[in-house]
Structure 1
């Protein structure tokens, strides 16, 4: 089976451990189903795995990839939900201490086929291309949960997104705008801020710039570099939703602002199958689709990883089988 695998890990040169080659498909857990992959989308999670974060070295080689769309053996066109919960877990699978993402414990989606629990399949809308369907996984589900489950944002509110034009950021802008939210973005790169505005943000600001008014919610994935700005940008009673900390998680907590202005600080990780299903329906109704930066055939997956690692991608990097 042709697949893109992590065979070694290096924090300094992550792509040195990437191998695109034929290999055995591996054992199939009981009750799981096969999806013949048509398209898969890359995420920064794949680069972190190659760097040695989140993927134990003892599990190498590991097929990379979390997101995919394909066809089951009985002919159904489906999207793959990447969160794999424990067999006996019930309820919100993101709260399962034993949960994993595809490519962390079980082989991922950057392959000719992937095996997943039957419950992890979502029907692909008939009118969607496979490229569109595969791109609506990790980043968009993360954004959907942040906005609508954690922040409980409602039409007319103002939401600030820290960091412009990244995968989650662009999904936040698209989903929020379609839901009637006023979406503001910040960024260090003026071109990326302009890109976010072109994708639907109402206004763009330089990183740390004073805002014209307080906002109802802040979507935070940057961490230490933007935390102070996020806290001070909120109106009393506002909410910060945190899904990551790419510049470090050791920012001063600013507890005096948190308790005096009664701010809410909420963590958020991926999303549930139910949220994934709702998001797909919402995107179908609003005709939302992720921007696609580039498409690469599976044998040339290294070029896709190079594009992602460059930081120049404007939209999803997609691999076709």
Structure 2
């Protein structure tokens, strides 16, 4: 089968590590299911894999990709939940110390076929196309968990989303509006700020801008470049939920502000299978559809990965194998 994979990582030039070629068809073990991939979406996780972050040489070649929607051998239309828990684990998959995401231990989704445990497939809502559904399992699932389980908000409030053009950030804008919040966003260019407004943001600002008032919640995916602004933007008792650090993972802590204003700093990673079904139900009910920057085949995948790496995408990049 044709697939996109990494054979030798390249920390300095991740695009140079990307290989598009033939890989063996996957074998289906007991308790697992084969899914014909109709669409798969890209994430920054794929870029980190190409750099070799969290992916040692002994696990390569490794097919990239965490997200997919497709059909099982029985014709069932499904969305793949990418968090693979260990055998015998019960409860929230994201809290399993031995969990992994697809493309870390098990081969990923940027291929014609993927195999996953039977428990890792969820019925695709009829209202979502395969391309739209493929965008949900990382970006929209992560944003949903941040805005619900982790937010500490029990009524509509004001939410600041940093770095509005990214996959999780753009999902957070749409989902926060669907949940009834007032949404502000930051972005580096006017085009990206317009994009945030088109997603439903009530206003969009330059990074680091002084806001009209302090907010209840900050959705933080950027890291070092925006961290100080995130803390300064919170009202006393407010919460910053962080799920990524694309600009760097070692910002100044500013602990005086954290304890003096009683701020909550919550880490968040992906979501469980029930939350995946929940976010798709919300999207179906509220009419939320993922914003897709481009849909590509394997031949155009290197250009798409380059654009993702450079931050030159608005919304999600989708592969049609």
TM-score (norm 1): 0.96
Aligned pairs for 1:173-192 within 5 A: 173-192=173-192
CA contact (8 A) 1:111 1:298 kept: no
The count of aligned residue pairs is 321
CA contact (8 A) 2:152 2:239 kept: no
Q: CA deviation at 1:214?
A: 1.1
> What is aligned with 2:159?
159
1:76 aligns with 2:76: yes
> What is aligned with 2:4?
4
CA contact (8 A) 1:161 1:172 kept: yes
SS class of match (2:70): strand
> What is aligned with 2:14?
14
Q: Deviations over 1:223-251 (max 9, x none)?
A: 22222211121111111111112222222
> What is aligned with 1:93?
93
Aligned pairs for 1:218-233 within 5 A: 218-233=218-233
Write the distance in 2 (CA, Å) between the matches of 1:94 and 1:256: 31
> What is aligned with 2:63?
63
Write the distance in 2 (CA, Å) between the matches of 1:30 and 1:227: 45
Write the distance in 2 (CA, Å) between the matches of 1:149 and 1:234: 19
SS class of match (2:229): helix
Aligned pairs for 1:142-291 within 5 A: 142-291=142-291
Write the distance in 1 (CA, Å) between the matches of 2:300 and 2:188: 32
Pairwise CA RMSD: 1.4
Write the distance in 2 (CA, Å) between the matches of 1:300 and 1:229: 37
> What is aligned with 2:318?
318
CA contact (8 A) 2:227 2:251 kept: yes
Going from structure 1 to structure 2, the CA distance change for 1:231 and 1:133 (only over 3 Å counts) comes to: same
Going from structure 1 to structure 2, the CA distance change for 1:84 and 1:242 (only over 3 Å counts) comes to: same
Q: Deviations over 1:159-181 (max 9, x none)?
A: 11111211111000000011110
CA contact (8 A) 1:307 1:317 kept: no
SS class of match (1:314): coil
Q: Which 5+ residue runs of structure 1 have no aligned equivalent?
A: none
CA contact (8 A) 1:163 1:222 kept: yes
CA contact (8 A) 1:141 1:275 kept: yes
SS class of match (1:169): helix
SS class of match (1:150): coil
SS class of match (1:8): coil
Write the distance in 2 (CA, Å) between the matches of 1:243 and 1:280: 20
Going from structure 1 to structure 2, the CA distance change for 1:28 and 1:241 (only over 3 Å counts) comes to: same
CA contact (8 A) 2:128 2:289 kept: no
Aligned pairs for 1:293-304 within 5 A: 293-304=293-304
Q: Deviations over 1:37-58 (max 9, x none)?
A: 1111111111110011121111
> What is aligned with 1:23?
23
Q: Which 5+ residue runs of structure 2 have no aligned equivalent?
A: none
Q: CA deviation at 1:320?
A: 0.9
> What is aligned with 1:38?
38
CA contact (8 A) 1:160 1:219 kept: yes
Q: Deviations over 1:192-245 (max 9, x none)?
A: 122111211011111111111111111112222222211121111111111112
CA contact (8 A) 1:66 1:82 kept: yes
CA contact (8 A) 2:144 2:175 kept: yes
